[in-house]
């Protein structure tokens, strides 16, 4: 079967093989495992329903990642509207009492959205740059630059703490 015509079976195979990674990234985005699970389920349901719209000019897995992201980002926006999500370093720091205890986690949370998603995909889903590029629908070079910028921002934050 050509890549351009994914069947439900292929998407089901992806779900069974990679559910834990999808859940981990969705949970990181949404901020809660139950909500993350819902986002994964909704994302895959949409992918299953809309699989005919997959253009076939990239990886199927990347396309499904995009669908699940959008579900997770939607869930996150809904939770933010209900004030269920800590969205800033200050807020996370205040919950934990001291910025040193929050450390890298808070700075990751404070990264711009694309950088944050790239970090999640790199370290939570263990995707390589090509797969991340497919998932974010950007060029590989953009992934490299995005992760580099994220590292730079984190390095800068750490150096400030060390001073």
Partner 1 sequence: MIDVEPLIVSELDALLPLPDGGRADWQDVVRRAGLDRRHGRWPLSPRRSLALILLAVAAIVFLVAPALGIAPPVLDFFSSKHAPKRVVHQFDALNVGAPRGMSPRVIAGQTRLVTTYHGHNGTAFPLWVAPTRKGGFCFMVGYGGGCAGPRMPTRSEPGDRNGGAIGLGRYGSTVLAGYVRDKQIANLEVRFKHAPTVTVPLLWVSPPIDAGFFFYDITPAQQRQGGPVAVVALDEQGKELARVAWIFRPKPAWFDPRKVADLSKKHVILRSGQASIAIAPSRTGGNCHWLQERYAPIATGCAPPRYQTVPMASGLNHGTDFTVFSAQVKPTVDRVELRFQDGTQIVLRPVEEFVLYTLPKNHWPRGHRLTAAVAYSANGKQLAKQTFDPKQVATYPCTKPVPIGAGQSACP
To which H or E segment does residue 92 belong?
A: helix 89-96
3-state secondary structure 35-82: HHHHHHHHHHHHHHHCHHHCCCCCCHHHHHHHHHHHHHHHHHHHHHHC
Contact positions toward partner 1, by CB under 8 A? Answer: 1-4, 6-10, 12-21, 23-24, 27-28, 33, 37, 41-42, 44-46, 48-49, 56-61, 103-105, 108, 119, 123-124, 126-131, 134, 151, 154-155, 158-159, 162
Tell me how far apart the 2 most distant CA atoms of the chain are, in Å: 58
Shortest distance in whole angstroms from residue 93 CB to partner 1: 14
* Residue (7 or 88) nearer to partner 1, CB: 7
- Using an 8 Å Cβ cutoff, are 46 and 10 in contact? no
Q: Which CB, 45 or 77, lies closer to partner 1? A: 45
C-beta of 13 vs 94, nearer to partner 1: 13
Residue 124 carries which DSSP code? Answer: T
Least distance to partner 1, CB of residue 134, Å: 8
By beta-carbon proximity to partner 1, the closer residue of 108 and 110 is 108
Q: Copy the structure tokens of residue 39.
A: 């986002």
CB of 63 to partner 1, least distance (A): 12
């Amino acid at each position: 079967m050509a890549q351009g015509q994914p069947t439900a079976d292929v998407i089901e195979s992806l779900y069974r093989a990679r559910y834990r990674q999808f859940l981990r990234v969705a949970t990181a985005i949404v901020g809660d495992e139950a909500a993350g699970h819902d986002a994964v389920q909704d994302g895959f349901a949409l992918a299953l329903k809309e699989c005919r719209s997959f253009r076939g000019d990239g990886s199927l897995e990347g396309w499904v990642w995009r669908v699940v992201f959008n579900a997770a980002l939607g869930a996150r926006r809904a939770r933010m509207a209900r004030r269920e999500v800590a969205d800033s370093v200050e807020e996370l720091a205040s919950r934990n009492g001291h910025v040193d205890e929050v450390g890298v986690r808070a700075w990751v949370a404070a990264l711009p959205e694309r950088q944050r998603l790239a970090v999640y995909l790199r370290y939570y889903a263990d995707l390589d740059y090509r797969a991340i590029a497919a998932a974010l629908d950007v060029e590989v070079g953009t992934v490299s630059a995005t992760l580099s910028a994220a590292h730079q921002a984190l390095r800068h934050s750490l150096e400030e703490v060390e001073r």
